[in-house]
């Protein structure tokens, strides 16, 4: 929409650009197209400032410099992805998240592991935070002290660019974190603030006394109640209280200050020019703070992200943004933006709802809450997609709605308690092995730490040596992966899970890690153990082989590209989770059995979904045998059904 003031300012800015840029049609078109939106969002956040035109000029000049620094090759990638705007929706993308130093030491040694990922069928790598941070207080890389320098423990900027070039040569993608909500207290901005530099003190939330912090505390939750209770930390050097929503050494950035926004967008674009394809924007729900609220999911936080997106589109339109917002289902979809027809904020979001509901189904042996929760998920706009995952480097939080629990016939509070107890060894007879994460005595809240395999029962069953239980645990593991790989979105494996890695208890003896039990599921990979993936009959081989097969089938299923074509179906069996994946020409009917007993689906359902024909399981590549008109699934079995003779 025409915006007179924006038009006048843009005209000035364009005339001040270097001639070469003024003649660059792509940059000028994108800047001109996005500037009115950028201007109006800037007005909402910073309109009350008298230097708004100066700040906007600083922003546009930064965009110009960032674009000038973008290589021809990356600009070509931008253009091809602009034409194929659904590149991140493709059925051919499958990812793995890994800590370099626990998977293979460093960037240099990672090069030799790229083939291993290709062997499995992974073509998107999420390298856990690599930027410079303190040796000790670094929260696994989420306390950054330099956004432009790779931490020497992983290597150098040059070695990262070498890895990126190696990945791109194999048509693979790289995802990296941008820790946008906070910096380490060892970042130069924090150091300057401690020296009394007012400019940098304004980058954070500082208070001379406890009046405002105490008012904030009335409505702010605690993220790390055991290690860093509450949300403010006293700095002796400044005689100030600093807002620290996460660990006390992670200082929250103040996006009410446009300098912070411009600087952080600059950090993103600098790394984008290294060749990063997707940015995992960390803790985005917390970007804007407001008294009397939880300071999560606020409208201004979304505007900040829309400004990130508008600027990324201008300079590096081939780069996608992933929202890490582990919040309620209704709130998560808002991170795709306010439009119903297209995503104007983040391109991708973590499907934390599906993840938590899958674990609910494993604990309850039924899909009641899973079905209720997934059916009530709000729709997402076209062009957006999920990261679907079973486990990641973090804890499991039960972020789904009470309503889904209630509609499934359970009482929310006691059900949540059961799920946590089940996975943390506090429920008699549970097969799971995990730990409660950040128990909060004030409200009884706790999340769950533990590796996929240990939470699914493999650790206990291997200890007891009961072969039937080992088989059940392996089947649970494969079942969980099967849903994540066939559901709409990008499947993101977590390193070690491809070989059913168990909990790693060595963190308990490491003083730098023993106070954060998420390290139980951040193992150092033993490549000797990994080599068992080639030994038939081992859990490593069974899981690795199943995953390889699943990822191959996925990559050959065009109907699994995510065009909002994933419909939850009710086959009237509370133990089964069913959905269809449909395109113009093909349809797959997915059924997952969460019960440790056989479950049946009547043929009528198959006909309703797949019409009459020859039913085939794409996973086993075998025909489906019906028994007197019933399809029977074994305990923890899944099927990916297609009609072999009739395309729709
Ligand atoms: C994110 O955490 C990261 O994934 C964590 O590894 C970091 O510790 C944290 O931010 C601070 O950077 O939902 O949106 O429950 O799982 O805080 C923030 C603890 C997040 C983390 C949770 C998560």
Query: Which residue ranges have their beta carbon within 6 Å of ligand 1?
Result: 139-140, 142, 179, 223, 246, 282-283, 285, 324, 326, 393-395, 397, 447
Per-residue CA distances from 321 to 5, 108, 262, 312, 388 (Å) = 29, 26, 17, 9, 15
Stretches where the chain sits below pLDDT 50 are none
Among the listed residues 37, 151, 252, 282, the single catalytic one is: 282
Domain tally, the chain: 1
Q: Which two tokens stand for residue 516?
A: 């954060």
Q: Which atom of ligand 1 is nearest to the CA of 182?
A: 12
- The single-letter DSSP state of residue 396 is B
Q: Is residue 604 part of a domain?
A: yes
Q: Which of 138, 142, 323 to mutate to test the pocket of ligand 1 (most atoms within 8 A of CB)?
A: 142
Q: Which atom of ligand 1 is nearest to the CA of 286?
A: 14
Closest by CA to 402, choosing from 391, 393, 414, 390, is 414
Q: Residue 528, exposed/middle/buried by CB under 10 A (0-12, 13-18, 19+)?
A: exposed
Distance, in Å, from the CA atom of 586 to the CA atom of 39, rounded to the nearest integer, reads 44
Distance, in Å, from the CA atom of 326 to the CA atom of 332, rounded to the nearest integer, reads 7
Q: Ligand 1 center to residue 553 CA distance, Å? A: 33
- Say how many C-beta atoms besides its own lie within 10 A of residue 115's C-beta: 10
Q: Which atom of ligand 1 is nearest to the CA of 327?
A: 13
Per-residue CA distances from 115 to 93, 112, 277, 336, 451 (Å) = 16, 7, 19, 33, 24
Q: Which of 129, 247, 282 to mutate to test the pocket of ligand 1 (most atoms within 8 A of CB)?
A: 282
Q: Is residue 123 part of a domain?
A: no
Q: Which two tokens stand for residue 215?
A: 């008012």
Q: Which atom of ligand 1 is nearest to the CA of 246?
A: 11
Q: Which of 227, 322, 394, 395 to mutate to test the pocket of ligand 1 (most atoms within 8 A of CB)?
A: 394
What is residue 177's predicted lDDT score, i.e. its pLDDT?
A: 98
Q: Ligand 1 center to residue 421 CA distance, Å? A: 22
Q: Which atom of ligand 1 is nearest to the CA of 324?
A: 14
Nearest residue CA, atom 20 of ligand 1? 283
Nearest residue CA, atom 21 of ligand 1? 394
Q: Is residue 315 part of a domain?
A: no
Q: Is residue 314 part of a domain?
A: no
Q: Is residue 243 part of a domain?
A: no
Among the listed residues 252, 277, 324, 617, the single catalytic one is: 324
Closest by CA to 53, choosing from 45, 64, 42, 44, is 42
Nearest residue CA, atom 8 of ligand 1? 139
Q: Ligand 1 center to residue 451 CA distance, Å? A: 17
What is residue 646's predicted lDDT score, i.e. its pLDDT?
A: 66
Q: Ligand 1 center to residue 536 CA distance, Å? A: 38
Q: Which two tokens stand for residue 386?
A: 């999920």
Nearest residue CA, atom 18 of ligand 1? 283
Q: Which atom of ligand 1 is nearest to the CA of 142?
A: 12
Nearest residue CA, atom 4 of ligand 1? 394
Q: Ligand 1 center to residue 325 CA distance, Å? A: 9
Q: Ligand 1 center to residue 147 CA distance, Å? A: 18
Burial string for 233-271 (b: 16+ CB within 10 Å, else e) reads: bebeebebbbbbbbbbbbbbbbbbbbbbbbbbbbbbbeb
Helix (H, G, I), strand (E, B) or coil at 386: strand
What is residue 338's predicted lDDT score, i.e. its pLDDT?
A: 80
Q: Is residue 104 part of a domain?
A: no
Q: Ligand 1 center to residue 37 CA distance, Å? A: 30
What is residue 341's predicted lDDT score, i.e. its pLDDT?
A: 80
Q: Which atom of ligand 1 is nearest to the CA of 437?
A: 15
Residue-by-residue DSSP string for 248-295: TTEEEB-TTSHHHHHHHHHHHHHHHTTT--EEEETTGGGSS--TTS-S
Residue with tokens 């956004």: 147
What is residue 648's predicted lDDT score, i.e. its pLDDT?
A: 60
Q: Ligand 1 center to residue 475 CA distance, Å? A: 30
Nearest residue CA, atom 14 of ligand 1? 283
Question: Pairing mode, if any, of strands 95-98 and 490-494?
Answer: parallel
What is residue 379's predicted lDDT score, i.e. its pLDDT?
A: 94
Q: Which of 283, 391, 520 to mutate to test the pocket of ligand 1 (most atoms within 8 A of CB)?
A: 283
Q: Ligand 1 center to residue 173 CA distance, Å? A: 23
Check if 282 is active-site: yes
Nearest residue CA, atom 2 of ligand 1? 283
Q: Is residue 615 part of a domain?
A: yes
Please report the sign of the dihedral spanned by the C-alpha atoms of residue 569, residue 571, residue 575, residue 581: negative
Nearest residue CA, atom 17 of ligand 1? 223
Nearest residue CA, atom 7 of ligand 1? 142
Q: Which atom of ligand 1 is nearest to the CA of 285?
A: 14
Nearest residue CA, atom 12 of ligand 1? 142
Q: Is residue 352 part of a domain?
A: no
Helix (H, G, I), strand (E, B) or coil at 77: helix
Q: Ligand 1 center to residue 599 CA distance, Å? A: 38
CATH number of the domain to which 577 belongs: 2.60.40.1180
Closest by CA to 502, choosing from 468, 456, 544, is 456
Give the domain extent around 603.
566-643
Q: pLDDT for 403-441, tens place per residue?
A: 999 999 999 999 999 999 999 989 999 999 999 999 988
């Amino acid at each position: 929409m025409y915006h007179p003031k924006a038009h006048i300012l843009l005209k000035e800015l364009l005339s001040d650009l270097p001639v070469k840029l003024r003649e660059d049609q792509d940059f000028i078109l994108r800047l001109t197209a996005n500037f009115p939106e950028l201007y109006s969002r800037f007005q909402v956040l910073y309109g009350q400032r008298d230097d708004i035109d100066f700040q906007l000029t600083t922003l546009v000049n930064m965009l110009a410099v960032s674009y000038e620094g973008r290589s021809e090759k990356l600009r070509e990638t931008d253009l091809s992805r602009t034409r194929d705007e659904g590149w991140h929706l493709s059925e051919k993308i499958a990812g793995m998240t890994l800590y370099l130093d626990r998977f293979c030491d460093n960037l240099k040694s990672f090069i030799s592991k790229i083939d291993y990922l290709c062997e499995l069928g992974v073509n998107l790598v999420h390298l856990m935070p690599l930027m410079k941070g303190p040796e000790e207080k670094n929260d696994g890389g989420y306390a950054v002290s330099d956004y432009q320098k790779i931490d020497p423990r992983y290597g150098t900027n040059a070695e990262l660019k070498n890895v990126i070039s190696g990945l791109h040569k194999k048509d693979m993608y790289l995802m990296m974190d941008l820790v946008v909500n906070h910096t380490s207290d060892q970042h130069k901005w924090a150091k300057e603030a401690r020296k009394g530099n007012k400019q940098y003190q304004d980058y954070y939330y500082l208070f001379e006394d406890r009046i405002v912090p105490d008012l904030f505390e009335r409505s702010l939750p605690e993220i790390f109640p055991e290690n860093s209770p509450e949300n403010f930390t006293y700095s002796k050097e400044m005689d100030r209280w600093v807002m620290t929503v996460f660990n006390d050494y992670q200082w929250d950035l103040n996006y009410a200050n446009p300098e912070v926004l411009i600087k952080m967008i600059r950090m993103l674009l600098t790394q984008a020019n290294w060749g990063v394809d997707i940015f995992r924007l960390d803790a985005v729900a917390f970007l804007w703070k407001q008294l009397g609220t939880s300071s999560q999911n606020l409208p201004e936080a979304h505007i900040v992200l829309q400004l990130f997106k508008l600027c990324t589109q201008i300079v590096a339109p081939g780069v996608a943004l992933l929202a890490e917002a582990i919040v309620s289902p209704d709130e998560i979809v808002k991170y795709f933006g306010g439009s119903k027809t297209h995503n104007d904020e983040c391109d991708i979001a973590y499907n934390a709802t599906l993840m938590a509901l899958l674990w609910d189904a494993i604990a309850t042996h039924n899909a009641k809450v899973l079905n209720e929760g997934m059916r009530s998920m709000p729709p997402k706009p076209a062009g957006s997609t999920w990261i679907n995952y079973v486990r990641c480097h973090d804890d499991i939080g039960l972020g789904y709605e009470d309503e889904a629990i209630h509609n499934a016939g359970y009482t929310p509070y006691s059900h949540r308690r059961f799920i946590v107890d089940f996975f943390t060894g506090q429920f008699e007879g549970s097969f799971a092995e995990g730990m409660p994460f950040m128990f909060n005595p004030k409200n009884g809240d706790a999340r769950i730490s533990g590796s996929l395999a240990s939470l699914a029962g493999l650790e206990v069953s291997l200890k007891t040596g009961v072969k039937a239980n080992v088989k059940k645990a392996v089947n649970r593991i494969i079942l969980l992966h099967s849903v994540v790989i066939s559901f709409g979105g990008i499947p993101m494996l977590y390193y070690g899970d491809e070989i059913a890695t168990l909990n790693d208890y060595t963190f308990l003896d490491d003083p730098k890690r023993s106070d954060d039990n998420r390290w139980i599921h951040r193992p150092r990979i033993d490549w000797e153990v990994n080599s068992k993936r080639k030994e038939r009959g081992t859990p490593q081989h069974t899981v690795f082989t199943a995953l390889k097969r699943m990822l191959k089938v996925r990559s050959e299923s065009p109907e699994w590209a995510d065009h909002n074509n994933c419909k939850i179906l009710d086959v009237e069996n509370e133990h089964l989770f069913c959905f269809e994946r449909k395109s113009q020409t093909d349809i797959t009917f997915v059924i997952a059995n969460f019960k440790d007993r056989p479950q049946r689906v009547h043929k009528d359902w198959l006909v309703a979904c797949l019409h009459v024909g020859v039913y085939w399981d794409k996973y086993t590549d075998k025909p489906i045998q019906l028994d007197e008109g019933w399809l029977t699934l074994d305990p923890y079995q899944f099927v990916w059904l297609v009609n072999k003779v009739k395309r729709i």
